[in-house]
Amino acid sequence: MKTRLKIYPILLAGGSGTRLWPVSRELYPKQLVKFIGENSLVQNTIKRLPPSLDVANVRIVCGEEHVHEIERHIKEIGISPENKIIAEPCGRNTAPAILLAMRLVLENEHDAVLCVFPADHVIRDESVFHERLNAAVKLAEMDYIVTFGITPHYPETGYGYIEGGKKMSFGALSVKRFVEKPDMDTAKRYMDAGNFFWNSGMFAFKASVMDQELSILHPELFHQMKQLSLKEGLISKKDYRQLPNISIDYAVMEKTDKAAVLPSDFGWSDIGSWKSLYDFIPKDAMGNVIDGDIISEDTRNCFIMGYERLIATNGIRNMVVVETPDSVFVSDMDTSRDVKNIVSQLKEKGRSEYQKHKTSYHSWGTLTVLEMKSDFSVIKYGIYPGSTCDIPTDGSLVHLVIGKGVGKSVVNGRNVSLGKGQSVTSAAGQTVRLENSGDETLLVIGIQFLENS
C-alpha cells in the first residue's frame, strides 16, 4: 500500500498591509493585529488548520524583522515555534517565499503535499473550509496544482479572477486563465458568466510537481533557488535579493497545464481594506462596527475603532474612524482603501508613522515612546520574564523607575535588585542592563535627559 505523503501548511506572513493604516504598519503588519476577537490574524490562521492539517507541521515565512513577534504569537496559542519560522532577509514576492519553504521541507522529506495560506485572511465557515481543503489535498495527490477560487457574491474590482474550464474530480475545474483586477463592468460580466472566481492566493500541491513545473516554466528561478545557501537556516540577503521578484501566479500558475481551480464558498475575505473588515464583522442595530472607548450619537453604517482615547461621533454616515496613539484616520467608507496614498506621502516625507507605532516589539519585550522632546524623553519598557534589555545612555542621564514586577539592574558591573517603586540612575555614556527575574512582565518607566539640558 502506498504511503501517504506528509502534509505541510505553509503560511505567508510577509507584506505591510498599508490599506489598514494606521493600525497596520511596515514593522507591525496586519497579520500581527487582533482585529477580530482575542487572536491576531496569524493566530486565527493557525487555529483553523486542525483537524485537517497538523499544526506541528506548520511553517511560517516572514520577514526577519517580524520573527520575534511571530514566535510570541505562536507561543500564546500553545504551540512551540521551534523550526516553524522561516525568515526572509528581504521580500521577493510569493514565488520565492513559497519555494524557500518548499526547499526547507524537502531537506527532511523525499516529497510532501504543501498547503499554502496567506496568514492575514479570514474565513467565516470553517466546516466548509475543511471540506474544500480535504478535496484540494486529494487533487494535489493526483499531481494537480490546486488554487482555491472564491465564489463571488458581488462584482468586486479589488481582486484578480480565475476563469474555470472543464469539470474535474471533487468539483474542481481546469484553469482557462488568470485575469487581473477588472473594472466594474467586467466584474459584472464575470459574475453573470458563473465560471469566474476570486483569486484567493491559497494553494495545494506536491513539492515534486511544483519543482518539476518550475524547472520547465521558470528555469532561472529554479536554478537560483537550488544554488541558494541555507547553512544553519541562514540566508544571504545579497543572494536572496538576486531572486526574481515574482508571484507564484506569474512564475507557474498562469503557464502550467497542471493547474486546477477549486470553487470555494466559505466566507473568505483578504481583509484588504477597512471596508472589507467592516463587511466581515457583525454590525449593531445602527449598522455600526464599534471597538474601543466610543460614544456615538446619530451614527450609522460606520466603522469606529479606538485604542487609547475617547472617540465621540455625531451625525455621521458611512465613515471609517480609526485612532491609534500617534495617528487618526477619517475616511468615507467606500474610498477607505485609498489610505495607501496617504502612507506613500508619509513615506516620501520621512514620517515614522508609515513604518512603526509608538510601541515597538523586540525579542526581549516592548518599548513605548510616551514623550519625545528636544531635551528629554519618556519611554516605557515592558521586559518579558527571563529576558534582558540593554538601555544605552549616550550623551544623556537616564533615570529608571520600576512600575511593576521584580528585576535587577547592572550598571558598571554592579548588580542591584529592584522592585516596584524603586529606581536606578546612570550617568551619560553608561549602559544599563535590566533583567526580569520575576514571572510577570517587568514594567519600567525611563526618563532620559540630554546632558546639556
Write the pLDDT tens digit of every residue in 302-328.
999 999 999 999 999 999 999 999 999
Q: What's the Cα-to-Cα distance from 157 to each of 184, 306, 336, 422, rounded to whole Å?
A: 6, 29, 14, 58
Are residues 233 and 318 located together in one domain of the fold?
no
> pLDDT means per 10 residues in the chain (453 residues)?
85 86 93 90 97 97 93 95 93 95 94 97 96 98 98 92 97 96 95 96 98 96 91 81 94 97 96 93 96 96 95 98 96 94 95 93 93 90 95 81 94 87 85 92 92 55
The reply to whether 169 and 248 lie within a common domain is: yes
Same domain assignment for residues 228 and 368:
no
- Identify whether residues 199 and 95 lie together within a single domain: yes
| Nearest CA-CA partner of 268 in 199, 322, 329 | 199
Distance CA 358, CA 374 (A): 17
Q: What is the pLDDT of residue 453?
A: 47
Kindly state whether residues 260 and 369 are assigned to the same domain: no
Name the pTM for this structure. 0.90
Instruction: Determine the pLDDT at residue 2.
Output: 60
238 and 147 inside one domain:
yes
- How far apart, in whole angstroms, are the C-alpha atoms of residue 230 and residue 261? 33
Which amino acid belongs to residue 307?
Answer: Y
Query: Does residue 242 form part of some domain?
Result: yes
Q: What is the rounded CA–CA span in Å between residue 383 and residue 390?
A: 11
- Residue pointed to by grid coordinates 529608571: 400
Number of structural domains the chain divides into = 3
CA torsion angle 149 151 157 162 (round to 10): 30
203, part of any domain: yes
